[in-house]
Structure formats: C-alpha cells, structure tokens
Amino acid sequence: MHHLHLHDVPFDLIPLEVPFFLSRTSAGFPSPAQDDMEEPIDLGAWLVQHPAASYIMRVDGHSMLGAGINDGDLIVVDRSRTPRAGAIVVALVHGDRTLKRLRHMDGRHWLVPEAEGYPHTLVDENVEIWGVVVGVARQVR
C-alpha cells in the first residue's frame, strides 16, 4: 500500500493580479462582459492568508481522495489555525508527516483517511497536530 507523503514547496508571495469574473451563465460559452468583472484578485494572497505561519506542501499519495485532495496537489497548511474536529490536518505520527481528517469518535480524537484501505490513527502521545489545511491548488491539464 502506497502511503501518503508530503513534500515542502518553497513559495514567495508575489502579487499577481488576475481578473476575477463572475459568470452568470450556467452553460454555453460565457463571455467576460465588463459588467461581470469584479476587482482583480491576488491568488497567492487569497490562498495564503497568514504567510508567516503557512506552508505549501505537495501531496504524494491517495489516502485523501474522498476529500478532493489528489496525488500531486499543493496544499496550503496554516499553523496558526486551531485544529478542530472535521478539519483536514497535517500531523506528525512517530515523526512522519501525514494528511488526514481529524475526527472525534468514542471520546477520543482520530486521524481518519478518506479512501479505502488506509488505517485510522488514534491521536496519542506519538501524534502531534502540525497544522490545518486551508487551501488546495491543482493545475488542470
């Protein structure tokens, strides 16, 4: 079974404004009409709200497919956010980083995968919740 690994990705927040369109067309060929435009959006600032406490990591593995996080995706991890049940978190388990959903079951906290064939992990003294996932980015090819 291929386990999930996280790789650090260095990043610099360089303002990059792109036009932000609100399309009211549900099908067909939407055209970027002037009245549909909103303010330009800086995608880096939109994804990374707390740069000093944030990390970007590349996901290598398939255990979070059910949460829409795929192999090769970039995740934004914010260490300033308080981890709560239901959040997707990066955790250190025996020193190895992993990505799971934090769940509260039977009076205890668990790290739960979102794909078949991966184990649940009890949050105990060998587990440190390292940060909360606040964004996912992928290129569509």
Active site (catalytic) residues: 63, 100
The DSSP result for 86-139, as a single string, is: T-EEEEEETTEEEEEEEEEETTEEEEE-SSTT---EE-STTEEEEEEEEEEE--
Q: In 3D, which of 103, 138, 135, 109 has the Cα closest to residue 122?
A: 109
